[in-house]
Amino acid sequence: MEVQVTCDGCGFQGEAALFRAVGNVMCCGPLVFRECPRCGNKVICDRQEMQGEYEDAARQMAGRVDEAIREGRVGEAEEILRELSQLNRRLNLAPLDDFIRAARRRIRQAGAAPP
């Protein structure tokens, strides 16, 4: 899956490849600066190789949310969803957004249903 980067200067969004990497934020940290192709703003990005690890973590968490909702552990599901949506602020995956929204709906319905 292509990594999407959003410029916080002008709002331009595109594949990370469109943003030229211009250097590390710290000498050896996981963050790099990338230059927005539209306005030249420097955007801080996670290194692309980190993305895969975050995606794996997100997939695992989504599985745990599914399981928790199925087994009626609503509190646990909500807790994982909170973490998951924080993680997705970094990942910016639309399908994950959809999953989070759908899971929240399922939790609300589970809460409203008689035991």
Alpha-carbon distance of 12 to 6, in angstroms, equals: 6
Any contact of residue 84 with Zn ion (CB under 5 A)? no
3-state secondary structure of 77: helix
CB of 20 to Zn ion, least distance (A): 12
Whole-number Å distance between alpha carbons of 107 and 83:
16
Tell whether residue 47 is a contact of Zn ion (CB under 5 A).
no
Rule CB under 5 A: say whether 9 interacts with Zn ion. yes
Contact between 36 and Zn ion (CB under 5 A)? yes
Site membership for Zn ion, residue 38 (CB under 5 A): yes
Q: Is 27 left (phi over 0), alpha (psi -120 to 50) or beta?
A: alpha
| Residue 45 contacts Zn ion per CB under 5 A | no
Residue in 56, 55, 51 with CA at minimum distance from that of residue 15: 51
Interface stretch with Zn ion, choices 14-22, 40-48, 94-102, 106-114 (CB under 5 A):
40-48
Binding site for Zn ion (CB under 5 A): 7, 9-10, 12, 36, 38-39, 41
